[in-house]
């Protein structure tokens, strides 16, 4: 994979997440990547192509970074280890998402104005995210680690509890004067979340 090309993809992903599809321009992406507008234009024929390439790149590295914890959890025997593993998974998700918030931002951007791009995104990536997420919740329930409620609702509740934290982090930082992306804050938040869920084992 060409290095210049990848810098463009990273810049594009950040801008698409921050400014949305319409707010992002070839010139902006090129400037952020330290390249020329025509270079970007050459490698990605038009904006749609650039967007899809950036999104694919983001999801690929997300799926690489968030290993399939499902099998790990299902292999663990002791209940203590398993609860620790869920806590670790939450922490890992938060740490990665704070470092690479593009996937959440892009998802929200497209969901805020549904259209053919969202259709593509769902078909290509998010659809399986939902299914795997639910399977993971059901596994946790089966092992007595999560409350026995509707798995899809619980997936939404947990996803919201985690990702909302990232989305409003700049606001939290301004209001409370704390860095929500710090390890301390993340640990504390995950601790609170698991404490709420624990009682149902």
Binding site for its own copies (CB under 8 A): 17-23, 105, 107-109, 111-114, 118-119, 122, 126-127, 130, 147, 149-150, 152-154, 156-157, 159-165, 167-172, 174-176, 188-189, 192-193, 195-197, 199-200
Report, in Å, the least distance between residue 195 CB and its own copies: 6
The phi, psi pair for 130, rounded to 5°, reads: -60, -50
Q: How many residues lie near DNA (CB under 7 A)?
A: 19
Looking at residue 36, the DSSP 8-state letter turns out to be -
Report, in Å, the least distance between residue 109 CB and its own copies: 7
26 touches DNA (CB under 7 A) = yes
Report, in Å, the least distance between residue 110 CB and its own copies: 8
Near DNA by CB under 7 A, which window of 34-42, 57-65, 125-133, 179-187?
34-42
Using DSSP's 3-state secondary structure scheme, residue 144 falls into: coil
The DSSP annotation for 118-139 comes to: HHHHIIIIIHHHHHHHHHHHHH
135 touches DNA (CB under 7 A) = no
Cβ closer to its own copies: 60 or 152?
152
Provide the H-helix boundaries in the chain. 3-23, 26-33, 37-43, 47-65, 69-75, 79-99, 102-112, 116-121, 127-142, 151-167, 169-176, 183-198
Q: Which does 39 bind (CB under 5 to 8 A by kind): DNA, its own copies, none?
A: DNA
Q: What is the CA radius of gyration of the chain?
A: 19
Q: Among 6, 34, 38, 196, which residue sits at the site for DNA (rule: CB under 7 A)?
A: 38
What tokens does 172 get? 């939290």
Cβ closer to its own copies: 49 or 113?
113
The phi, psi pair for 185, rounded to 5°, reads: -60, -45
Cβ closer to DNA: 32 or 134?
32
The DSSP annotation for 56-89 comes to: HHHHHHHHHHS--HHHHHHH--SHHHHHHHHHHH
Cβ closer to its own copies: 49 or 152?
152
Report, in Å, the least distance between residue 77 CB and its own copies: 26
For DNA, the binding residues (CB under 7 A) are 2, 4, 24-28, 35-39, 41-43, 45-48
């Amino acid at each position: 994979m060409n290095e210049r090309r990848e810098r463009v993809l990273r810049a594009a992903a950040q801008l698409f997440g921050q400014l949305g599809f319409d707010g992002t321009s070839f010139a902006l992406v090129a400037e952020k990547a330290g390249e020329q507008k025509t270079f970007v234009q050459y490698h990605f024929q038009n904006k749609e192509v650039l967007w899809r390439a950036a999104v694919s790149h983001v999801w690929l590295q997300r799926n690489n970074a968030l290993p399939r914890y499902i099998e790990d959890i299902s292999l663990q025997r002791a209940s203590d280890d398993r609860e620790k593993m869920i806590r670790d998974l939450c922490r890992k998700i938060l740490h990665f998402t704070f470092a690479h918030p593009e996937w959440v931002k892009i998802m929200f951007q497209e969901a805020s104005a549904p259209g053919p791009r969202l259709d593509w995104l769902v078909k290509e990536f998010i659809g399986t995210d939902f299914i795997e997420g639910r399977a993971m919740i059901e596994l946790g329930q089966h092992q007595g680690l999560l409350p026995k409620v509707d798995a899809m609702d619980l997936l939404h509740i947990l996803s919201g509890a985690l990702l909302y934290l990232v989305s409003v982090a700049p606001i939290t930082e301004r209001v409370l004067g704390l860095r929500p992306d710090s390890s301390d804050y993340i640990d504390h938040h995950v601790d609170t979340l698991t404490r709420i869920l624990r009682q149902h084992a």
